[in-house]
Amino acid sequence: MIKSLLYIITAISFIASSEAKRLEVLFLGDNGSHKPSERFPQIMQGLGPRGVNFTYTSDPNCLHDGTLEQFDALMIFANIGQITEEQEKGILDYVYNGGAFLPIHCASYCFLNSMKYVKLVGAQFKSHGAGIFKTDIKKPDHPIMKGFKGFETWDETYVHRLGTNDRNVLQTREGEPWTWTREPGKGRVFYTAYGHDQRTWGNPGFHDLVHRGLLWAIGEEKSEEFLSSEIPNLVRRDGDLVPNYERRPEPIKVHIPLNVKDSLKHTQVANGIDVSLFASEELGLYSVIEIDWDEKGRAWVIETRDYPNELKPAEQGQDRIRILEDTNGDGKADKAILFADKLSIPTGMCFARGGLIVQMAPHFLFLKDTDGDDKADVREILFSGWSTGDTHAGPSNLKYGFDNWIWGVMGYAGFNGKVGEKQHRFGQGVYRFKPDGSELEYLGRTSNNTWGLGFSENNDVFISTANNQSSVYMPIPKTEYDRFEGLDQSGSLPGIDSNKKFFPITPNFRQVDVFGGFTAAAGHHLYTARSFPKDWWNKTALVNAPTGNLVYRAQIKPEGSHFVAENGWNLVASADEWFSPIYSEVGPDGAIWMSDWYSFLIQHNPTPNKGRGGFDANRGRGNAFESPLRDYTRTRIYRFTAKGIKPSKTFDLSQKNPDDLLSALQSDNMLWRMHAQRLIVESNDKKTFTPKLKAIIKNSKPDEIGIAGGAIHALWALHGLGSIDHETVELGLGHKSPGARRAAAAVAPKTNKSTKLLLTMVNDPDHQVRKDVLLAISKMPPSEEAGKTLHSIRKDNFILNDRWLPTAFQMASSRHGAGYLKAALAVSVPANATGTPKAVEIPKENLIQNPGFEAIDGTLPKLWKPRTYSGKANHKIVSPGRGGKGYAIMIDSDSGADSSVYIDIKVKKRTTYQLNAWVKTEGVKTLRGGRGAQLNLHALPDQPRTAAIKGDKDWTKVSVTFKTDDRGSVGINCLYGGWGFATGKAYWDDIELIQIDAGQGPDISEDTESIVAANLYRHASTVQISSVLNHIVTKPTKLGNRIKSMIRAPKVTVKETKEDEKSLSKTHQVLKLKAIEGLKFDRTNLEAKAGEPIAIIVSNPDLLQHNFVIGNPGTLDKIGLSADSIITNPKAIEMNYVPEIDEIIGSSKLLDPGAVEIIKLGPLKKGKYPYVCTFPGHWRIMQGYLNVE
């Protein structure tokens, strides 16, 4: 048997079989200092191309909940301190009954309360040093070691204890057992002490060792099956010009494209999910840019050959829309019907008004089949104005909305046109328009190029942008802000992506910038059916990442009225470098359907040149560089289905039978509910549908996750029919489903009676319901009673501690401003009042949890987390702490690092605190401007910090006093290095946070009063305005004195005059700088005189986003390294990618294409001041110097 396995592992060519067998490995990590979630992608890339699928979890309950039975092997790389009896039994049963177990490195110091686990592994970690070494192979003839050459790496030098006698030691390091195997029961264990950090996990030798250990551990039978199932080699060819933006030593060569079967052999699908082909180039398909499904459940596809550079005149294009049908029920399309051709770069479509609305810049078209032959015989322009300057930055993702409008997103190319009677001009963002094209609204700006839109089942709106912001949330549309003075969207819609990385399973992915992150994210459809596991329902957003050859799962999690998108890993990823998912959505059967563009080259711009890409290329009409590598001969549509779960019931709604429509309206698949809603609204049959829709609202019940889809869509259908009445609103507001209550609030008629109904809901326990209720109240007729009620809840912490409720509250209060202000004036302090307010007693307890690090989880204190900005650092608990007792946290680095251990603490707004701590150092030295060991506070503008300690110092107390802003939390950092590097050992203990004044707390009363006063003339009647002014005059109060000047009639609008160069030149030295194509500034040297103010006019005529950052002399590397580390900061875009370091003396916002900003600098001393663009991936190329003489 050993001889057989030796052959298997070392064989060069394998026996082919019809289907590839990929191995499934469950990877159990944790949130500890070894950062398993960061090592996981490295092993995916190392073994993914070899046919090994990895699934990540940090939940040890996977050991006993039935999960293990789904996998060929279990890998543990974690320091989880404790194991329960059930978990212990689960892992032992799995291994002893034949399972493969691969504990790696720190897994030998996991589950410290279980001697059975220690015995299973074969030993327990005792201590370590560190260094660069190569181990000795002791059993060269063992199947794992046969032909293995070993490798050299930096790693921790583990020493073990409690070693079992039955270990088969394969490698040693200076005599210490290093890699071994065990065979407990019917199972097999492979352990290696390798694997502390990325240096080993990224080493091909480590990948080879783990791969060999895995094949041995799963046993000969599974190994033979796996290796006899051929995964074809990627055969590469010479002669192609492949852009080398990543600056690899050698550009990647193009591999020959694969057929569908072989491509899937290189592809990993999420565990528990099956994939099947629906259609491909065998049906004549080419470059499918979007899929949608009609009311019969048929798939419609947009196919393009003109994209990206061949924009053709009307009726001359090569693109088309076809209907794909599976006529024999085998799951594959066998019939294609041409609906419309001679199109040119259509980018989206949506069913409406009995036809199809198609995005095809510069126009939106309406196509319709009037004679039933499935061919468009009506082709009309709905409206125009969409830019064609960049074909990947135009309109996309048309969707029929809950509100019976059509929604879409737009890239930076922008819109400038007339819709109805109104002229519009806007750039990237989200918009909606009426299906007849009579009205359009711009709803919100996004931060960069945009190609993704999705609705939740509760009508939450999500967006994806292409670059480094894969999930965006629209909480309140711009149209709501526009109704109120003093309130605005404040720039771009908020990103909610807590994870900035994507996870390819091949190292050969190609990008222009934001390396390792999203650079071409497309789509944001949520899983809105019930044919996948429950944790997908209305939570998983599908983000296509073609430059990473994958579809990412963003797990949407509510946080009050806000959301956060957490890492859900991948739905699918491929080592086939042509695999390019660009569109994924739930189909009529509840499956996820995906369009694989299948082209080796997916990147649009910038155009390569010798300095950036390795060769000079030409730019085409669509602003994409021209290349023969853009393939139009292949495309694939796949369906992903969950094992063991029934598909959605499908319908044929083409006959518009009322019973069918009402049944579909209650489907568990939102696709059918939305079709039914649209067809009911388009029928305009109020008599038939109104009573039956009301009955659905009354009788529907929430499902397992609280969704009552039938009730939600029934309310919006009634709204579309114009049949909403107060009785129905009251019924909806009383529904058990929060989504139904939200819909009822949104569709309520604009009447005083609706106001009274809505006011009963201002204390609803659901944050989103409360937000939508307040927004609905903000549209009702002005009411003094409403204003009084709103004033009574102004200090409700449910509102004040939320992200968006304060804004919605201020909108509602401003609409009903007269009542609000009269209630506020009634309780205000008289104008002539004297004396001081009663002092507020301030509690003096320490607000830090686990301040002395006594509660431990593995090698780290509970609640505290490690974070490294740059360099390499170790974080761990040590004993004793201060005073020779307890524990302390230690950070150390040999090579230098900027790192921390941090905790997030809830605080009161606008309140003063004091932070105290004890710090000790041993041999701490600073590099690159580092400061040593200290504490600082994240999330505050000036990042308050204590004194920094370095050298050799015994325990020293450090303190800092700071005042919070309007944020409800701060991050407290035990900071090592700090704006630079440190080496040596630093210790922290006894962290203390004390509130030292009463502050204003989370009270927005003063701000609200000002906003309400400023909006009084906009929303109140003349009588109401007079009554407020009369109250101010006749009953003088301090509030009245403060706001009376704010209550004023609207001024005549005067065109704002921007500061121009001529006026600037009177006070400043004026310099000009442009960001140009190729990631360059047009000037790498600017000249200025010392001692005189400087104004730099920075413009961005390029088609990518850039910024401008200038620093003190000698700080270029410091700024650049800080820019590298900012990419993973969830607030990086809000920060305009500008690092928060003292060395920066001036910066711009993130400049969109065409934007201009003036950066003013005070008089400077002589010197060379570096300037750079710190957008991710740009600074090393895009830089220059301001020479001051």
pLDDT tens per residue, range 43-90: 999 999 999 999 999 999 999 989 999 999 999 999 999 999 999 999
Is a pLDDT exceeding 60 seen at residue 13? no
- Whether the per-residue pLDDT at 1102 is higher than 90: the answer is no
Give strand pairing partners of 811. none
Q: Tell me which amino acid residue 131 is.
A: G
Q: Report yes or no on 334 lying in a domain.
A: yes
Average pLDDT in the 293-306 region? 98
Strands of 540-545's sheet, edge to edge? 267-269, 562-574, 550-559, 540-545, 522-526
Lowest mean pLDDT, pick from 199-203, 603-607, 967-971 = 967-971
> What was the pLDDT predicted at 902?
93
Nearest to 80 by CA among 650, 860, 944: 860
Q: Which two tokens stand for residue 573?
A: 């990823």
pTM metric for this prediction: 0.84
457 and 547 part of one domain: yes
- Classify 73 as helix, strand or coil: strand
pLDDT (average), residues 769-774? 99
Q: Mind giving me the DSSP string for 486-536?
A: T----SSPPB-BS--B---SSS----SSSTTB-SS-EEEEE--SSSS-GGG
Start-to-end Cα distance in the chain: 79
1038 is in which domain, residue-wise?
1005-1043
Tell me what pLDDT residue 715 has. Answer: 99
Structure tokens at 513: 């910038």
Q: Which of 228, 247, 275 is the last residue of a domain?
A: 228
Percentage of the chain surpassing pLDDT 90? 81
pLDDT band at 978 (very low <50, low <70, confident <90, very high): confident
Residues 923-952: what's their mean pLDDT? 87
Nearest residue to 537 via CA among 703, 423, 701, 323:
703
* 964, 995, 1026 - which closes a domain: 995
1010 falls within a domain: yes
Q: Give the strand pairing for 550-559 and 562-574.
A: antiparallel
> 544: closest CA among 565, 527, 525?
525
Of 228, 243, 277, the position where a domain reaches its end is 228
Residues 131 and 277 in one domain: no
- Helix (H) / strand (E) element for 1135: namely none
- Residues 73 and 214 sit within 8 Å (Cβ to Cβ): yes
232-267 burial, b at 16+ Cβ within 10 Å, e below that, comes to bebeeeeeebbbbbbeeeebbebbebbebebbbbbb
Indicate if the pLDDT at residue 382 is higher than 80.
yes
Please count the structural domains in the chain. Answer: 5
293 has which bridge partners? 299
Q: Is the pLDDT of residue 941 over 90?
A: no
Residues 6 or more apart whose CB falls under 8 angstroms from that of 365 comprise: 346, 357, 358, 379, 380, 381, 382
Whose tokens are 């939450």? That residue is 460
3-state secondary structure of 108: helix
Q: Give the burial string for 291-328 (b: 16+ CB within 10 Å, else e).
A: bbbbbebbbbbbbbbbbbbbbeeeeebbbbbbbbbbee
Give the residue-averaged pLDDT of 542-564: 97
CA dist., res. 570 & res. 54, Å (int): 10
CA dihedral 414, 417, 423, 427 (to 10 degrees): 0
Q: Where are the beta strands (DSSP E) in 909-950?
A: 912-927, 932-938
pLDDT at position 999, please?
65
Q: Verify that 116 and 224 share a domain, yes or no.
A: yes
Residues 714 and 735: beta-carbon distance below 8 Å? no
Q: What is the pLDDT, as a whole number, of residue 342? A: 98
Sequence-ordered strand ranges (E) for 250-390: 267-269, 273-280, 288-293, 299-303, 319-325, 335-343, 348-352, 355-360, 363-368, 378-384
- CB distance 392 to 604 below 8 Å: yes
890: its two tokens = 């230690």
Q: Which amino acid is at 704?
A: E
pLDDT of residue 369: 98
Q: Are residues 958 and 1098 in the same domain?
A: no
Tell whether the model's pLDDT for residue 528 goes beyond 70: yes
pLDDT value at 1170 more than 60:
yes
The domain that holds 1150 is classified in CATH as 2.60.40.420
Establish if 385 belongs to a structural domain.
Answer: yes
Q: Which two tokens stand for residue 1118?
A: 């410091």
Q: 884 and 1029 in one domain?
A: no
Residue 681 maps to a domain: no
Mean pLDDT on 996-1017? 82
Question: What integer pLDDT is reported at residue 18 of this predicted model?
Answer: 37
Residues 6+ apart with CB under 8 A from 404: 435, 677, 678, 681, 716, 719, 720
CA distance 718 to 711: 11
Question: Residue 1: pLDDT band by 50, 70, 90 thresholds?
Answer: very low
Give the model's confidence band at 19: pLDDT under 50 very low, under 70 low, under 90 confident, else very high: low
On the question of pLDDT at 102 being above 60, the answer is yes
Q: Point out the least confidently predicted range of 17-21, 192-196, 1124-1128.
A: 17-21
Tokens 């155009």, located at residue: 607
CATH number for position 627: 2.120.10.30
Q: Residue 664 domain-assigned?
A: no
Q: Which two tokens stand for residue 97?
A: 């009954």
Task: Tell me which residue of 500, 540, 498, 651 sits closest to 589, measured CA to CA.
Answer: 651
Residue closest to 1116 by CA, chosen among 942, 929, 981, 932: 929
- Shared domain check, 171 and 84: yes
User: Out of 528-537, 701-710, 862-871, which region has the weakest mean confidence (pLDDT)?
Assistant: 862-871
Q: Which two structure tokens, joined as six digits, stand for 700?
A: 């529907």
Report which DSSP code applies to 447. Answer: S
How far apart, in whole angstroms, are the C-alpha atoms of residue 122 and residue 102?
Answer: 11
511 domain-assigned? yes
pLDDT attached to residue 125: 97
Which parts of 806-930 are beta strand (E)? Answer: 856-857, 860-861, 865-871, 874-878, 888-906, 912-927
Flag whether 447 is in a domain: yes
962 lies in the same domain as 985: yes
Residues 1015 and 971 in one domain: no
Task: Tell me, yes or no, whether 795 lies in a domain.
Answer: no
902 and 1036 together in one domain: no
pLDDT for residue 908? 83
Identify whether residues 485 and 359 lie together within a single domain: yes
Are 453 and 517 within one domain?
Answer: yes
CB burial class (10 A; 0-12, 13-18, 19+) of residue 397?
buried
Mean pLDDT score across all residues of the chain: 93
- Taking residues 1031-1041, what's their average pLDDT? 89
- Read off the pLDDT of each residue in 574-578 and give the average, rounded to a whole number: 97
Tokens of 939: 């999330």
pLDDT in tens, 847-887: 999 999 999 887 889 999 998 877 789 999 999 999 999 99
Give yes or no: residues 953 and 1099 share one domain: no
